[in-house]
Amino acid sequence: MCGPPPVTARTSAILESARTVVTRVFAQDGIELAEPVRAGFRDSPAGSTGVAITIRLSDPSAARAARAAFSARFGGGVDVLHVA
């Protein structure tokens, strides 16, 4: 199998917390989201390999600011961040 493991959506306190915290970070920086933050576990045959976060911005030109805000808050501690 090539590429990263697939992302799966499950109900989880970890994923709900991730969605809540990420939403707050962007709200504090005035970055508007086009839809709610999505979070999912990245799965492999051996089990979960981490968390992937997906955000859709109201203004796609704010992607650089969104990545900077995310990085300032979380550094390299997040497995995958998709910004659209």
Is pLDDT at 61 greater than 90 in this prediction? yes
Residue 64: burial class (beta carbons within 10 Å; 0-12, 13-18, 19+): exposed
For position 79, what pLDDT does the model report?
63
Q: What is the mean pLDDT of residues 59-76?
A: 86
1-10, 33-42, 45-54, 59-68: which has the minimum mean pLDDT? 1-10
Task: Supply the pLDDT for residue 1.
Answer: 47
DSSP tally for the chain: helices H, then strands E: 2, 4
Tokens for 14? 């970890």
Q: List pLDDT tens digits, range 7-35.
A: 555 568 888 998 999 999 999 999 999 99
